[in-house]
Amino acid sequence: MEITFERRFRGPLTSANGGYACGRIAEYVEAEAVEVTLRLPPPLERPLVVRRDGDGVWLVDGDAVVAEARPAELDVEPPEPVSRDESEAARERHVRLGSPEFRECFVCGERSTGDGLAIHVGAVPGREPVHAAPWTPTEVGSELVWAAIDCPGAYAVGADGRGEIVLGRMTASIHRVPSIGEPCVVTAWPEGEDGRKVFAGTAVFGEGTELLALARQVWIAPR
């Protein structure tokens, strides 16, 4: 089994978006919640091998382990849902992360219409530090939901003030993949920190505040 990350799905300029990569790997694990640990930046445009490891899998590039995924328990509670109107107001407060490395990110970058997810979260007025943004899918797939609940966590933990933080681990449960054109709200919030590890929770809500997906993330701040 092999996975190839197309350049379209980049996060930084030279590697795949972390959430998208996690979602692709998670497809090989049969579990309600899957934990994916990224060991290396997932390289673009070359086949990577998926190897079974009991109930989990490894993604390898030659002799190097890029990521590993396994069944997990997801211990995180989302805050009260953010309304669509609140999410649109929050998007107006979006502040781009400063590094040029991420300005073409598939999730939060500046892309032509339809090429990326264009999820630009900002602090929800009156509910800081909760962040949110509206999202209306134009294509579907569980890996796209994993992507949607990636970058918002970085904004919620204040990545712009911490330097080049990177996604180290993501544990997620996808309850339902939204339909094309379904009005959704992506939400993110901080979950504390421990040294260089910074924790975030993220979620996607569909119409009627249905919880579609939930995740807990570990971000790694630079030394």
Confidence of residue 31 (pLDDT cuts 50, 70, 90): very high
Separation CA 203–CA 27 (nearest Å): 19
Look at residue 161 in the predicted model and tell me its pLDDT.
55
| pTM confidence score | 0.95
Query: Which of 98-112, 131-145, 169-183 is the least confident region?
Result: 98-112
CB 152 within 8 A of CB 202: yes
Give me the domains of the chain, ranges plus CATH numbers.
2-71 (3.10.129.10), 84-220 (3.10.129.10)
Q: What is the mean pLDDT of residues 12-31?
A: 96
CB 55 within 8 A of CB 71: yes
184-197 CB burial, b ≥16 within 10 A, e <16? bbbbbbbbebeeee
Q: What is the mean pLDDT of residues 183-196?
A: 94
Confidence of residue 53 (pLDDT cuts 50, 70, 90): confident
pLDDT value at 158 more than 90: no
Q: What is the mean pLDDT of residues 164-183?
A: 94
Residues above pLDDT 90, as percent of the chain: 82
Query: Which of 51-65, 89-103, 127-141, 197-211 is the least confident region?
Result: 89-103
pLDDT digits (tens, 9 = 90+) for 122-139: 999 999 899 999 999 999
CB 72 within 8 A of CB 59: no
Confidence of residue 45 (pLDDT cuts 50, 70, 90): very high
Residues above pLDDT 70, as percent of the chain: 97
Sign, CA torsion 185/188/189/191: positive
